[in-house]
Amino acid sequence: MNNSSPQKSITATSARNIVVLLVCVIVGAAAITLAVAQNANPSIQNPAAPATNKYATPQGAPAKSPATVAVGQTSPLAPKDGLTIPVSVVDNTNPAQVQAAITNVLQAIVKADDMPGMAAAVIMNGKILGAGAAGVRKRGMPDPVLVDDPFHLGSCTKALTATLIGILVDEGKLNWNSTIGDLIGRDINGINPDYVPVTIDQLLHHRSGAWPNGPSEVWKAAQRSTLKTPVEQRLSYVESILSQPPRFPAGKYLYSNAGYAILGLIAETITNTPYEQLMEQKVFIPLGLTSAGFGPAGRENELTAPYPHLETGGANFLDNPEAITPAGRIHMNVTDWAKFCLLHLGHQPTPPLLKPQTLEHLHTLAGEVAEDKFGYACGWMRPNREWSGGRTLHHAGSNMLNYCVVWMSPQKDFGVLAATNQGGKKAETAVNEACSALLDQLLLNKK
């Protein structure tokens, strides 16, 4: 930030009143600690259930989802007393001012919300406007979070998996109406006949009827699997899911990590290539996502990357099972994540990664039920927001030990994304406060 600019401050309250943020808690697992995992019952949970602020609940949103937990209720994120974010007028053409603005926002929120560390990036007009980081990699240790440090993306992985599926559609290996029965029916022992006609498009839009994570015993088996490769683990998990009756009839919305695991298995089956290798070849390399990988961002007992933390603040290194990597186990730094997000604002590499009509399909709601309460496309939620001038592309991700969120406006060619190495409600609040403040300063030019 330009030091000659007079310093002022805004409160989180004013930032939140300017930009209304729909906070979608996209949890990649029913639980993450082993003790919880052994007793969790993910069959009664809906990881898509948002805790929204009072301005952001979609009009006409029912109070209940098809699952047994309440969703769509107004649950205001209370402003933090004393949270002030130093700002001055930011010249978006001045990289130093942009960098300082991002860093100042993150430093203020790390302190006020007691996060271990955070990183954020802003994209505008087809380029990365800036990125920054604040805090430490592990509580009680001095190692700072760096802007190049990778963060776990949780369920923001789903947009990457949907992109991979779109590439396979463009290559003629799939079409949106390809069915589970046609693609992997012969590979699944005892497939329930209700799953046979379910399409790729229904899986992408969370309308396959698949359980969120699976019956409790299926989820626990995935967490404890001793199978050697992710492909073997995924096949075992998907086989268990597809041998059970669906949770709901196909066509009805139910957020499902299992559904995206099925997509991953389909991709690797039809190409005879592991999902992880496919993702590297067809998405990471063409987009230059050199920091991208799978599972935890670093190594246990090392401080080479932000260390994951429980909501209580304690460091912990568990993660989702490898079987559901396509639903929630990719990591990368915020700069690489911003490169991926630019693709979904229409800024393609050379040669283009996706056909324009395929990219649009990935952002399209589900046909005649397009006005459902979540407005889910393919790895993206699509709420309309005043600041965006219409629709947004939005998602959040967490494995209960990390939290991230992205908001993009196709109309304004703008996006903001933030991540922290802690899970839980405080982390949810922190990343959305960061997005709110950065949107104010760098898009709306509000002080």
Convert the chain into a string of H (helix), E (strand) and C (coil).
Answer: CCCCCCCEEEEHHHHHHHCCCCCCCCECCCCCCHHHHCCCCHHHCCCCCCCECCCCCCCCCCCECCCCCECCCECCCCCCCCCEEEECCCCCCCHHHHHHHHHHHHHHHHHHHCCCEEEEEEEECCEEEEEEEEEECCCCCCCECCCCCEEECHHHHHHHHHHHHHHHHHCCCCCCCCEHHHHHHHHCCCCCHHHCCCEHHHHHCCCCCCCCCCCHHHHHHHHCCCCCCHHHHHHHHHHHHHHCCCCCCCCCCCCCHHHHHHHHHHHHHHHCCCHHHHHHHHHHHHHCCCCCEECCCCCCCCCCCCCCECCCCCECCCCCCHHHHHHHCEEEEHHHHHHHHHHHCCCCCCCCCCCHHHHHHHCCCCHHHCCCCCCECCCCECCEEHHHCEECEEEEEECCCCEEEEEEECCCCEEEEEEECCCCHHHHHHHHHHHHHHHHHHCCCCC
**Regarding predicted confidence, which is higher, 51 or 348?**
348
pLDDT of 86: 63
pLDDT of 29: 33
Tell me: the pLDDT tens digits for 124-151?
Answer: 999 999 999 999 999 999 999 999 999 9
Q: Say whether pLDDT at 297 is over 80.
A: yes
pLDDT of 348: 96
pLDDT category at 373 given cuts 50, 70, 90 is low
Least confident of 61-70, 158-167, 319-328: 61-70
Q: Say whether pLDDT at 58 is over 80.
A: no
pLDDT category at 41 given cuts 50, 70, 90 is very low
pLDDT category at 57 given cuts 50, 70, 90 is very low
Tell me: the pLDDT tens digits for 43-52?
Answer: 223 333 333 3
Q: Say whether pLDDT at 374 is over 80.
A: no
Q: Say whether pLDDT at 350 is over 60.
A: yes
**Regarding predicted confidence, which is higher, 65 or 430?**
430
Least confident of 8-17, 177-186, 341-350, 370-379: 8-17
Q: What is the mean pLDDT of residues 101-111?
A: 95
Find all residues with CB under 8 Å of 175, minimum gap 6, and list them.
169, 200
Q: What is the mean pLDDT of residues 159-185?
A: 97
pLDDT of 336: 98
Least confident of 54-63, 169-178, 215-224, 285-294: 54-63
How many other CB atoms are found less than 10 A from the CB of residue 412? 17
pLDDT of 40: 31
Q: Say whether pLDDT at 191 is over 50.
A: yes
Both tokens assigned to 369: 């039920």
**Regarding predicted confidence, which is higher, 100 or 11?**
100
How many other CB atoms are found less than 10 A from the CB of residue 46? 23
Nearest Cα to Cα of residue 40 among 237, 313, 224: 224
Q: How far apart are alpha carbons 417 and 405 in whole angstroms?
A: 6
Mean pLDDT score of the chain: 82
Structural domains of the chain in order of their starting residue, each with its CATH number: 34-387+395-442 (3.40.710.10)
